[in-house]
Structure 1
Amino acid sequence: MNLKPPLTELNIATANGGFYDGFTRTVAVTGKVIIGLLILWAVLFPDNAGSLLNSLNSAILTMFGSWYIYSSAFFVILCIALALIPASGRLRLGEPGDRPEFDNFSWFSMMFGAGIGVGMLTYATGEPMSHFKNNPDVIRGFVAGTSEETVRSAYEWSFLHWGLTPWACYALTGLSLAYFSYRRGLPLTIRSGLTSLFGARLSGPLGHVVDIVAVVATVLGVAQTLGYGVEQFIAGIARVSGSEWLMNDAGTASTLGIILSLVIIVGASTLSALSGVGKGIKWLSNINTVLSIFVLLFFLVFGSTLFSIAALFTGIADYLAALPSTLFTVWHTDGTETGDALAAWQGGWTIFYWAWWIAFAPFVGLFLARISRGRTIREYILGAMIIPAVVCFVWFALVGGTAIQLELSGQAQGAILGTGLSDQLYAVLAVMLSPGLATLMSLVIVVLLLTYLVTSVDSAVLIINTINAAGDEGPKARPHIVFWGSALALVVGALLIVGGLSAIQTAMIVGALPFSFVMVLMGLSLIKAIFMDNLRKRADIPRTVGTIETAEP
């Protein structure tokens, strides 16, 4: 085999002057056009948009449901293997002398706040409660819904969706980018993760397509998260202030409430994004980590502690025992009542989640890469995959377990089960506490949610601009930051007003599909790169950009 040093240059053309100075004009303009057309379509032709999105969603679930399941399983297995295998696990994301820029607390705070904090606040109560009523074990008649026997299966499925898989999607994307950027000196943009497969061809149209797909997936993935956050934010403000005009009779956010909350969230996010990662984002991430710990301690002390701890450990044990099977389980419609119900449940939950994590992966992955230089692959994967999954398990057990126990004991009398997803956490507090204390804790949740939302949006805006600028992490023109902050607000607002959360969910599943193929290729590219670098090590051939430059005559 004729071994050569790896590719260390990817010449991506960027504009030299003008409004798009420093940006890859093709990527930046095309991304803006696609998102702009989506907004106009949803606003001007809402019926057509809703109908076509639903048709596309049904087609994707039918044709690509198995693809989402198997590709996500591949991401989990690959990350675990790379961490455990010594030849890959000990490799450093950077030069041999590089060390982490951020301490572990700030690193974890930024990673968790940007990665999953908003959704966790919504689903830590809502998902265990939903699976407590219905899950595949209930559908197959193994247990009865809303019974004590259903608690274990409710947590097994909740932990599947919020455990290793989402963080494997994020970790793999970030690992690929960090490996090629910090070891090879390539631009910190999505296309760089494919260079061991396609080489210098990625500097042209092929690479532009990859980055455009990543930008669109990022906008739709963040829109999904922002949509849930907005609904819960408005529900909390309505609870705290008693302002009934913020909510509709159906229990969903009113149009005026949506507009007002988006102005607050995106305005704060844009200001934070203008300050950069090391200031606003780091500061907000540390705040929401402290508030998260406070909320967890509150539920640990005042919640259903023993019930929740039992749910935590039995849920983790059941999840890990079933993981080899559930990772690869695919249910198809077969004309039977049970088979069709299982397929519908998996499409509405598991496949929806896998698409959500994949759509979110270019944003969170690039952000993880941005803050993880100097760490080893093993350290990175353990920090970016295992620890956040355990924190999610603790959240779901303490918060969701308290909600379930309140219903099982009869204390809640349906007050939690009977309310919408976005309002369930506040309903738990209302059952647990006196009205005054419930209002105070609800206010804490609203503030925590706001910090998570701002952290997610401002991080996303910076990441989108990094992709558009061919991996340049330096400060960019303020109008581009303002544009993408406004675009996120308009996408969420338009789709929420037109079709509610289901419209955002459908758009996200459609947008995630192209990037799922990119992610699989990134995984294969990373395997090849690590394998070749180990061969180069044996042949004493330079493997990182610094050693290659030093070795040049």
Structure 2
Amino acid sequence: MSNDNKIRPPLTELDINTTAGGFYNGFATSVAVPAKIIISALVVWAIFWPVQSGAVLNGFNGFILGNFAAWYIWVVAFFVIVCFLLALWPAAGRLNLGLDGEGPEFSNFSWFSMMFGAGIGVGMLTWAVAEPVTHFQSNPETIMGLTTGGTEDNIRMAYKWSFLHWGLGAWACYAICGLSLAFFSYRRGLPLTIRSGLTPLFGSSLAGILGHIIDIVAVVATILGVAQTLGFGVDQFVAGLTRIGIGGLTDAEGAASTFGIIVALLIIMGASTLSALSGVGKGIKWLSNINMVLSIILLGFFIIFGATFFGFNAMFIGIWDYLIALPELSFNVFRSDGVEGSESFLLAQWQGWWPVFYWAWWIAFAPFVGLFLARISRGRTIREFVLGAMIVPALMCFVWFAWAGGTAIDLELNGGANGVIFDASNGDKIFAMTNFMLADISAILSWAMTVMIVVLLMTFLVTSADSAVLIVNTINAAGDEGPKARPHILFWGAALAFVVAGLLISGGTTAIQTAMVIGALPFSIVMALMAIALLKAVYNDSRREQAGVPMTHDKIEGATGNGLPSGLDGTPAE
């Protein structure tokens, strides 16, 4: 028997039923309708029964944190290992995420701008200042009595933990999804949807109910993950508008009021829906380029006029501490003894608040960012993808945390801020810091800087929201990247706004966080299977290359030798 018969070409067809004509023309109603029902039910539940929904969500959240914390920690470590293995593995690293010889559609600058803006960009404006400051005051080392919160001996710990949450683990979640989707869609010719990434494990059965369930899980996780980002962003957007001088948007305690939430969402989701209607090549590309330029200007301000040398030390010493501690941090799980207030209880609680929350957030965000990354990364190699979509953005996050957060810590320790920054809410910290820095120079300049940050925040939020709407519609349309009917774009734009508003009004950002952690759990299992399937596919492709068996969909057509599409004749898909 020849090698060609032993090693068959991979699956290149997945016939997902879509509706022809009518309101759902081009959509897989088995995915679109259940996803809409689930999200609509969540909105109604959160708005009309806020107390009950809050109690139930908190109960589920406690169960997940108590029983699945280790799973979240370890599965993200697995994603990091798989990404580096694929980049360093010669047979994998040189593979094109497209047809052989195909080049990328977007320039490196536009590619990185869209990737960063949709991936983590909006979080930078909240957490680049807030997180180092928070960990500077409390972290596992302070709980164990190894360092003292709020003092210089705790600075390195603050950056070690901040870099863990925004470093390789975060981008590995995105990279796994993006690599899988680009590989199976652009090399194999399969639909650009989540289920395609599991074809090496489940084959053509994914065209049926199993595939529908996987895509529904991905849509729900995407909406909840993006809602988490928008929830933080809305709080900060309202804080910025208040700093500019627009009143009536906050309550007596300074938090965003119901009216403020509605105003912010109307602005953000209105602009994002208009951008989504224009598509990824127009609105999203231009918005991404704009927010990248504004980000560089703001970051340059912190580097030049902020804590320049403090940030430099925080950057490089922080990276060193992070990389040295990464193996332990990636696998260590704090176990509670059940005694409230004990050291082990506090450590487990802290891990649930921070690493577990972040891993759930990145996993829930991964269908959206991964599919978006796949769309903009066609024609790049796996090695280029990992370097560009994992290491470079992580370094960019480190730069932001070092100089933005470092400036805040330095101003409090040595610059006479006296709690102005530390006492502000997380969303307001960056505004409090820039206002403090510029107050003695020029009130007009301080106001102008606030306006610029608000504009930058809005472009990040709009980029995330409109990208999410397009991605959800792509999944619902069985991977069709073409134009979608306006009513469906409008529905998901409104649905996203109502999810954020409903959960914020019923329980604040904590309610969104709880819903997101719950929604991320089933998709984390899907992602683990995607990583395994990708490894299997690359390994089998290396065997096909040696045997001279075609691997890309353009070369497979007519090459199966039996008149049947590969993978549908009783042979394994991979």
> TM-score over 0.5 for the alignment?
yes
Aligned partner of residue 198 in structure 1, secondary structure: helix
Aligned partner of residue 557 in structure 2, secondary structure: helix
Deviations 1:372-420 (A, max 9, x none): 1110000011000000000000000010000000111151101111111
Report the Cα distance in structure 2 between the residues aligned to 1:277 and 1:294, rounded to whole angstroms. Answer: 24
Query: What is the aligned partner in structure 2 of residue 348 from structure 1?
Result: 353
Report the Cα distance in structure 2 between the residues aligned to 1:346 and 1:295, rounded to whole angstroms. Answer: 31
Amino acid at match of 2:128: A
Give, in angstroms, the shift of residue 335 of structure 1.
4.0
Q: How does 1:165-204 map to 2 (within 5 A)?
A: 165-204=169-208
Residue 302 of structure 2 is aligned to residue 294 of structure 1: no
Report the Cα distance in structure 2 between the residues aligned to 1:178 and 1:242, rounded to whole angstroms. Answer: 44
Residue 342 of structure 2 is aligned to residue 334 of structure 1: no
Report the Cα distance in structure 2 between the residues aligned to 1:252 and 1:221, rounded to whole angstroms. Answer: 22
Percent identical among aligned pairs is 63
Amino acid at match of 1:440: A
Amino acid at match of 2:413: L
Aligned partner of residue 331 in structure 2, secondary structure: coil
Give, in angstroms, the shift of residue 126 of structure 1.
0.4
Q: Match for 2:419 among 414, 420, 439?
A: 414
Report the Cα distance in structure 2 between the residues aligned to 1:547 and 1:476, rounded to whole angstroms. Answer: 30
Report the Cα distance in structure 1 between the residues aligned to 2:423 and 2:350, rounded to whole angstroms. Answer: 20
Amino acid at match of 1:215: V
Q: Tell which deviates more after alignment, 18-27 or 410-419.
A: 410-419
Amino acid at match of 2:114: M
Q: Match for 1:507 among 505, 515, 518?
A: 515
Q: Match for 2:105 among 101, 122, 141?
A: 101
For the 8 Å contact 2:97–2:187, the answer to whether it is kept is yes
Give, in angstroms, the shift of residue 546 of structure 1.
1.1
Residue 307 of structure 2 is aligned to residue 304 of structure 1: yes
Give, in angstroms, the shift of residue 28 of structure 1.
0.3
Aligned partner of residue 327 in structure 1, secondary structure: helix
Aligned partner of residue 116 in structure 1, secondary structure: helix
Report the Cα distance in structure 1 between the residues aligned to 2:273 and 2:477, rounded to whole angstroms. Answer: 18
Q: Match for 2:57 among 53, 66, 72?
A: 53
Report the Cα distance in structure 2 between the residues aligned to 1:474 and 1:132, rounded to whole angstroms. Answer: 47
Residue 96 of structure 2 is aligned to residue 92 of structure 1: yes
Give, in angstroms, the shift of residue 505 of structure 1.
0.3
Amino acid at match of 2:132: P
Residue 445 of structure 2 is aligned to residue 460 of structure 1: no
Unmatched runs of 5 consecutive residues or more in structure 2? 562-574
For the 8 Å contact 2:240–2:454, the answer to whether it is kept is yes
Amino acid at match of 1:419: A
Report the Cα distance in structure 2 between the residues aligned to 1:505 and 1:252, rounded to whole angstroms. Answer: 17
Residue 440 of structure 2 is aligned to residue 432 of structure 1: no
Residue 45 of structure 2 is aligned to residue 41 of structure 1: yes
Taking only aligned residues, the RMSD between alpha carbons, in angstroms, comes to 0.9
Residue 400 of structure 2 is aligned to residue 395 of structure 1: yes
Query: What is the aligned partner in structure 1 of residue 150 from structure 2?
Result: 146
Q: Match for 1:239 among 220, 243, 264?
A: 243
Query: What is the aligned partner in structure 1 of residue 495 from structure 2?
Result: 487
Report the Cα distance in structure 2 between the residues aligned to 1:123 and 1:436, rounded to whole angstroms. Answer: 26
Give, in angstroms, the shift of residue 551 of structure 1.
3.6
Query: What is the aligned partner in structure 2 of residue 261 from structure 1?
Result: 264
Q: Match for 2:377 among 366, 372, 377?
A: 372
Report the Cα distance in structure 1 between the residues aligned to 2:101 and 2:444, rounded to whole angstroms. Answer: 55
For the 8 Å contact 1:411–1:431, the answer to whether it is kept is no
Give, in angstroms, the shift of residue 436 of structure 1.
2.7
Amino acid at match of 2:545: K
Q: Match for 2:10 among 6, 26, 49?
A: 6
Report the Cα distance in structure 1 between the residues aligned to 2:394 and 2:145, rounded to whole angstroms. Answer: 29
For the 8 Å contact 2:136–2:150, the answer to whether it is kept is yes
TM-score with structure 1 setting the length? 0.99
Pair 1:505–1:536, CA change in 2 (3 A): same
Report the Cα distance in structure 2 between the residues aligned to 1:132 and 1:29, rounded to whole angstroms. Answer: 46
Query: What is the aligned partner in structure 2 of residue 449 from structure 1?
Result: 457
For the 8 Å contact 2:9–2:560, the answer to whether it is kept is no
Query: What is the aligned partner in structure 1 of residue 390 from structure 2?
Result: 385
For the 8 Å contact 1:193–1:526, the answer to whether it is kept is yes
Aligned partner of residue 23 in structure 1, secondary structure: coil
TM-score with structure 2 setting the length? 0.95
Q: Which runs of 4+ in 1 moved over 3 A?
A: 550-553
Amino acid at match of 1:542: P
Q: How many residues matched?
A: 552
Report the Cα distance in structure 1 between the residues aligned to 2:246 and 2:489, rounded to whole angstroms. Answer: 34
Report the Cα distance in structure 1 between the residues aligned to 2:135 and 2:446, rounded to whole angstroms. Answer: 25
Q: Tell which deviates more after alignment, 190-199 or 540-549.
A: 540-549
Report the Cα distance in structure 1 between the residues aligned to 2:555 and 2:7, rounded to whole angstroms. Answer: 16
Q: Tell which deviates more after alignment, 331-340 or 56-65.
A: 331-340
Amino acid at match of 1:365: G
Q: Tell which deviates more after alignment, 333-342 or 413-422.
A: 333-342
Residue 126 of structure 2 is aligned to residue 118 of structure 1: no
For the 8 Å contact 1:217–1:515, the answer to whether it is kept is yes
Deviations 1:100-147 (A, max 9, x none): 000100000000000001111110000000001000111111110000
Residue 475 of structure 2 is aligned to residue 471 of structure 1: no
Give, in angstroms, the shift of residue 18 of structure 1.
0.5
